[in-house]
Amino acid sequence: MFRTTAVRAQSIFRNALTPKKAHAATVSRFMSSHSTETDEQFDTRFENFFNRKDIDGWEIRRGINDLWGHDLVPEPKILIAALKACRRVNDFALAVRILEAVKDKCGPKVGEIYPYIIQELKPTLTELGISTPEELGFDKPELNLESVFHIH
């Protein structure tokens, strides 16, 4: 019984245990793959994503949500592409929401990063007629809602 098990186990592990011939192109290793994308490639990838001519509102939202999952404040050029994409799909609210979300993404350094981003975005904002959240009065709370956890 034990011998049968051992023989079977050996045949299962043989492939994993015997060293493979190292291929020039692909070397298989027992570890997770790391991203080799540089920061510039990352920025260009998202910029190109938002610059696509046939982008729709669904994809802009998906792109923003994905981008917001990273530990970074997006480069102004990505944001410019995203705002122009909002203009192409005629969604003004989306553009303002992106600006608000960027301000939130700056975290504790909002005083340093956010003015820089607005300064970089200013030409695009005036060109497209987008108001910043501050111009719309969205930087201060104006609508108080009872928390859904306290209603009942």
Partner 1 sequence: MAGTLVALGLRAIRHVPKNAPLQASAAMSSYTRTLIGKREIVGFGFNGEPSYVDRADFPMPAIRWKEPTSDVQALREKEKGDWKNLSVEEKKALYRASFCQTFAEFKAPTGEWKSLIGISLIFVSGAIWVFYALKAFVYSPLPESFKEENREAQLRRIIDLQVNPVQGIASKWDYEKDDWKK
DSSP-H helix ranges across the chain = 2-17, 39-51, 57-68, 76-88, 92-105, 110-128
CB of residue 98 to partner 1, shortest distance in Å: 8
Q: Which is nearer to partner 1, 57 or 76 (CB)?
A: 57
- For residues 40 and 71, which CB has a smaller minimum distance to partner 1 in the complex? 71
The residue (of 20 and 140) whose beta carbon lies closer to partner 1 is: 140
Tell me which residues touch partner 1 (CB under 8 A). 57-58, 60-62, 64-65, 68-69, 87, 90-94, 96-98, 100-101, 103-104, 128-131, 133, 135-145, 147
CA angle, corner 79, sides to 75 and 85, nearest 5?
A: 150
